[in-house]
Amino acid sequence: MKKYLEILINIPLFAGIQENELESLLGCLNAQVRHYPKGEIIMLSGAPMNSVGIVLEGSAQILKDDFNGNRNILARVKHGELFAEVFACIGIEHAPVTVLADTRAVVLFIDFRRIVSSCTSACAFHSRLIENMLRLMARKNMMLHEKVSCLGHRTTREKLEAFLLLHMEHAGTNPFEIPFSRNEMADYLCVDRSALSTVLGKMRDEEVIQYHKNSFELLDGFGVHK
């Protein structure tokens, strides 16, 4: 366990907690480390679950099988990231997804009930832990909300407009940079990359935006249709 402490103090869930505090906190949380060879099942869909998982080493896939039994990758969880925390918080008893070791992986499990109900020995760190957990969940929430606000438009152009506005707001300046390649942008907006390029070109021709590589500028008339 000790060898993973320096990983743990750097993950957001334990932000603001010192290394020596963390050690006692982990004991108090009854944290357990498990090792998985590549391809092994970390969490099986339908099986009972009551823990939050933290990937310490390697990476894992979150999978869901659909109506026809087709395997579907929902997400990839990497070193330092959490999984199943939403289900644990809701109190879902049986895992709705399967988690598979993508590579050889080390995972830390924490009983969720021990996170929310404060303990007697380490309450000071504990309330910080809860605050972190709330913050993490709220961030995820906001990111999802932003994504919906982009995807919830009919045309690629409208999606793109929402996306650009969002990132201008994030940056706080008008010529601003976005941390996406065209490919990643298209993936995020769930549209075809070449169609995205076309729409971008059209908007530049109409002089409502200007861009070079990842730098964009919104001009007068942006967002005004017809």
Return residues touching DNA (CB under 7 A).
Answer: 154-157, 181-183, 191-201, 211, 213-214
* E strand segments, 24-175: 32-36, 41-43, 51-57, 59-65, 71-78, 82-83, 98-101, 105-111
117 sits in the region (left: phi over 0; alpha: psi -120 to 50; else beta) called beta
Would you say 105 or 191 has its CB closer to a second copy? 191
Helix pair 156-171, 193-205: axis angle to 10 deg: 70
**Is 131 an interacting residue with respect to a second copy (CB under 8 A)?**
yes
- Minimum distance from residue 6 beta carbon to DNA (Å): 29
- Minimum distance from residue 207 beta carbon to DNA (Å): 14
- Minimum distance from residue 37 beta carbon to a second copy (Å): 29
**Is 172 an interacting residue with respect to a second copy (CB under 8 A)?**
no
> What are the tokens at 62?
């979150």
Residues 173-202 binding a second copy (CB under 8 A) are: 190-192
- Residues counted in the chain: 226
Q: How far apart are the two ends of the chain, measured CA to CA in Å?
A: 62
Would you say 107 or 199 has its CB closer to DNA? 199
H or E stretch at 177: strand 176-177
Residues 45-84 binding a second copy (CB under 8 A) are: 66-68, 70, 74
Site residues (vs a second copy, CB under 8 A): 66-68, 70, 74, 85-91, 116-118, 123, 127, 130-131, 133-135, 137-142, 144-145, 147-149, 151-154, 165, 168, 190-192, 218, 222-224
